[in-house]
Amino acid sequence: MSPKYRRVLLKLSGEALMGDMPYGIDPKIVQAFASEITQVIRAGVQIAIVVGGGNIFRGMKGAAAGMDRATADYIGMIATVMNAMTLQDALEQMEIPTRVQTAIAMQEVAEPYIRRRAMRHLEKGRVVIFGAGSGNPFFTTDTTAALRAAEIDAEVIFKATKVDGVYDDDPRKNPQARRYKSLTYTHALTHNLAVMDSTAIALCKDNNIPIIVFSLNEPGNICRALLGESIGTIVGGSCEIS
């Protein structure tokens, strides 16, 4: 394997950890993700991960149900730590040294987020999983991924989702929807495309961090993206339809 990137940030949605379950964590899915991440690490790539918590609790849904928005977001942050610890365990079973760093102090189970320490872990070949979002309500884990990628000097963000890229319309509702091979940050923002939230895209634009959106449903896609194969959609280039 000849990797294209030296240091990457992988954004995993909490929903991806559910597999076909309606709620929670599917251990087989977590093991599969850990196996692919292990291949990336053994190729000499430094990898940091931001994981969501939507498989356990989503702050926006809690707020929509009448809960105080800040409280709901804090509960969502705690859910991301549960996912981070689960993924850490799966990676360490494969003998990959892993550290969980949280933006909210949880000293009995994880390190606090310290930028220089995170970068040192990466340099030593450890996987770093960032939990608890940014530590602030009203910000998504997408924004956290963009923020942490900028802080640790990641070359690219891999956004692994349940769809195989970014479309000009919802492919579940419109069978004629077309997938972008690449698109600009500005196009993604002005057309409100479902890549990341606008704050995250703007942060990537300001720091010139490309975003590669691809499907996790096909085994091996993380490695393919790492090798620079043309999969999914690249945000940060010119606009091109597949």
H/E stretch holding 74: helix 69-93
Length of the chain: 242
Q: Are strands 233-235 and 211-215 parallel, antiparallel or unpaired?
A: antiparallel
Contact 196, 213 (CB under 8 A): no
Annotated binding site: 11-14, 53-54, 58, 73, 134-141, 161, 167, 170
What is the three-class DSSP state of 88?
Answer: helix
Annotated binding site for ATP: 11-14, 54, 58, 161, 167, 170
What is the three-class DSSP state of 177?
Answer: coil
Q: What angle do CA 37, 127, 28 make, to 5 degrees?
A: 40
Q: What is the DSSP letter of 241?
A: E
Q: One-letter amino acid identity for 158?
A: F
Q: What is the DSSP letter of 14?
A: G
Annotated binding site for UMP: 53, 73, 134-141
Contact 146, 209 (CB under 8 A): yes
